[in-house]
């Protein structure tokens, strides 16, 4: 079992490229109000975990190795830029991790490793394709809320059907 992290327990936020900024803005604002770091994570579902060692790193294999490195780097840089913009403006300490495998389980492992106080995730995007995906693969938020021993904050997607941004 890894040693408990020192310092305040961070929040862990699961991010996806192209998602509305509501989740990141909410997680960063909450981390700022609590005075804790924010650990953001993108889970590459096209990869699968082949070895997990919290003291070192997760070793993964891609289901699409020919497109793997460049695509993951591009997505990570896009997310890094978005996280920096939001968190730096609020003075929130942050980091970004790229994980592999099932998103719910990967976020759960990261939260356990980081000693997170809470996991912040979004609701599925509106639309038929996203509903079918959630029906087939299961909802990350639902799985985490049933299998975690820490609180899970589920941030609703806004803006798609006329809802205002955070706090409005």
Q: Where is pLDDT greater, at 152 or 125?
A: 152
The 3-class SS string of 103-140 reads: HHHHHHHHHHHHCCCEEEEECCCCCHHHHHHHHHHCCH
Task: Pick the closest to residue 23 from 168, 154, 164, 161 (CA basis).
Answer: 154
Q: Where is pLDDT greater, at 24 or 70?
A: 24
pLDDT in tens, 33-59: 999 999 999 998 766 554 444 554 444
Cβ atoms within 10 Å of 130's Cβ, excluding its own: 13
pLDDT in tens, 75-120: 889 999 999 999 999 999 999 998 888 889 999 999 999 999 999 9
Model pTM score? 0.75
């Amino acid at each position: 079992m890894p040693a408990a992290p020192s310092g305040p327990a961070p929040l862990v936020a699961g991010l996806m490229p192209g998602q509305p900024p509501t989740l990141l803005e909410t997680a960063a604002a909450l981390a700022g109000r609590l005075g804790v770091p924010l650990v953001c994570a993108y889970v590459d579902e096209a990869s699968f975990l082949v070895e997990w060692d919290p003291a070192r790193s997760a070793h993964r294999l891609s289901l699409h190795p020919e497109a793997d490195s460049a695509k993951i780097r591009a997505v990570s840089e896009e997310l890094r830029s978005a996280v920096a913009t939001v968190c730096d403006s609020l003075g929130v300490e942050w980091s970004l991790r790229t994980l592999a495998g099932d998103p719910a389980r990967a976020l759960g492992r990261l939260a356990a490793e980081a000693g997170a106080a809470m996991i912040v995730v979004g609701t599925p995007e509106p639309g038929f394709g996203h509903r079918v995906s959630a029906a087939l693969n299961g909802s990350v938020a639902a799985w985490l809320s049933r299998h975690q021993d820490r609180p899970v904050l589920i941030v609703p997607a806004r803006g798609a059907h006329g809802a205002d941004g955070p706090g409005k």
